[in-house]
Structure 1
Amino acid sequence: MGYRANVTGEFAIEPPLSWNEIKASPFEPVGRRQYAAIDIDLVLRVEETSVDTEEGTLVRRTGTALVMREIDEYRERNLVEQVQRCIDLFPGHRFTGRLDCEGEENTDMWRVVVRDERAIKVEPRIVWPDEEGGGR
């Protein structure tokens, strides 16, 4: 099972991934992979552009971002590890952005960010403001 969480956001990828990198990846979104069998909750966003060539129209596919795949009810398992796995698969590409996560409890919030090519979980700090009038 796992803890239910709402996840929003994405990691932009620079330079974008080539089609050869995308199709060989477990994060490939086209549907040829059995996600449930390999526990992957993230996919690459693939953008297509048409380029006219002498032989006709060429469709160029590039991976521009790492995003959550569409899941009815996300059970947070190993999101940080999955982001790191994707970073490790594509050396020479920079991942920028974040995933904002909110769990079942209203105070349960965290983010997944990338710092120095490492995916990390960041939790907010709750700070009480100083009380006015010195009433301690």
Structure 2
Amino acid sequence: MSTEGLVPAMLLDQTSGLLNFDALIELLAKVSPSTIGHMRDSGFAPNLQPVVRLARIVGTALTAQLPSLDSAALHYAVDMVESGYVLVITGSDSTRACLEGVVSLAAKYRGVSGMVVNGRGTDYQDGLALGVRLWIVSRTRSGPK
């Protein structure tokens, strides 16, 4: 399929003519999240906010949805995540954290660009100390099981 006229030339690989994902990520890194939000009607978690103001991440998303009181899927996702990826976690328990400091350490070791948590987090300061860019919906002292 030809991408001619559909994709700006600056985002195409000059040899293959295919979309250059590295160029796309570099371009998206310069865009404000609110600008993207203005272009979309859905897909954003309510109350999601960066732990450190003005932090930005962009990359391929690896998602994990956690059933109540079971963080095994999160540990599996951290084992699978690749350098430069964004780990996106959705927790189903409204009282306990789906993210804790040791997971931030493992994710940082794996080279994640950042983590987005549609749920609660604890020990988030540990991740910040490591330089992990983190967005969470809310904080709690109750850790995952």
Q: TM-score, normalised by structure 1?
A: 0.29
Greater fraction helix: 2
